[in-house]
Amino acid sequence: AWNEMASEQVYGGIINIGDTDFLSTVLQQMYMHPGMREFVLGVTDKKTLGHPDPSRPSWNELRALQTLFGELEERNRSKITRSRVQDILARDMKDVAMLHNEILRAIKVDKKSSLVSFQPFSRGCQSLDWENPNLSIAEYRGGYAQGSAAFLQTLLDRLSRLLQTNPQLQGSFHRMCQLELVSHVVGGSPQAPYFNCNYRPEEHVGAYMLPTCEDAKSLDELLTLAVAFRPLTRKVRTKDVLGRAYDHNVKVWTRTVFRSLPPFLMFELSRPRFTAEGNIVKSFQNYSIPLRLDMRPYCEEALSSTLPSDCHTGLEGKEQAVQSALEKSAARPKDYYEYELMGVTTHIGGSIHGGTNVAYIREREGKRNWYCFNDSVVTPIEPEDLVSTLEEKGVHAHVPYLLFYDRVRSTSTS
């Protein structure tokens, strides 16, 4: 069936060589983003790319990505004919296997890496010999309902670390997909008010994981929950009327908000859920996914003036934070907060330990049509059909868990 459709496909798919759909859906999302594609294909620094021989230790993920993207680029430029199908599939299989194995090897070799938590990747990962550089792809199970999200995060983190040898390239990469978060901590007591709107700033590359909530019905509700205040207890030192110092616990509130947003914004909808017995099951919670998204309500400049009603803070600190946020907001263009949905990765299956992944991607150029990437088969899909697909319920529904948004281009720049 694929051979008959091959000559009609606008884009080439990536063959599934054994539970590798979690990998191919991520790679297709990255390849179809012009900025990411041009960045990967444009790297020429030999030190950053590593050795061209896959058998050498210095071979890395960036080189493998460039190889695969180059093959996809060649395939999409020329018409796919039936006579070329078998040759393409053979090279495709080699490239995917090479990339998959080298990513596993490169991450495992780095003993200091904090990214060696492979449980989301596989059911049997704990029994595998991770020291074996020739780890077979057949030993891997990628149908896990959160596998693509874990792979995406790991791959982007690895690329960021590989680019440390070239600060200019790393800066370009970060500007494309890095968001900045900051924690606000407020509260205390009338005697010891506490206000800190710049607590633990951090930069995050990759998909931002939204909290799981069975009561939420939409992405907007999940984002509202993500930036909401949460109560905590904090130990502070104060003095009594006699000037004697003592420690006591006071109630504070903390939240994490968005300080800056990248052009390429990614969200992860967490699907694993623990039962009362301690088992992990898949959450089938259905969320309304907007085609257009306004991120302003969830950014620091929109939230700095909002505080819990019963918290005590120093007004001077609050006013300074609000003024700083307003100045930042005024310096940003109108369309800075406006995003449109350009990609969705879904999981099909009743179990979190199996199933399959499918990618839906919209063209950034040309007619801007939507396409369904189901392994090697790529078919067009109408926007209204995509919306109805994402709203399906049941164990055979396409449950979304990775969302890819692009900043809306203004009329003057599009």
Closest CA to 71 of 91, 54, 51, 50: 91
* Listed range (62-66, 325-329, 378-382) with the worst mean pLDDT: 325-329
390-403 pLDDT tens trace: 888 877 788 888 99
* Positions of E strands within 136-229: 178-188, 193-205, 208-210
Dihedral angle, C-alpha 353, 355, 360, 361, nearest 10 °: 60
* Listed range (13-22, 147-156, 375-384) with the worst mean pLDDT: 13-22
Tokens linked to 305: 């003036």
CATH of domain 2-174+337-407: 3.90.70.10
78-91 pLDDT tens trace: 654 434 444 444 55
Domain spans of the chain, in order of start: 2-174+337-407, 179-261+286-332
Span 300-317, average pLDDT = 66
Return d(Cα 48, Cα 165) in angstroms, integer: 7
Span 54-72, average pLDDT = 75
Q: How far is CA 281 from CA 163, 273, 352, in A?
A: 37, 5, 6
Crossing angle for the helix pair 34-42 and 167-177, to the nearest 10 degrees? 170
Tokens linked to 95: 């490239």
Predicted model pTM? 0.80
CB of 75 closer than 8 Å to CB of 87 = no
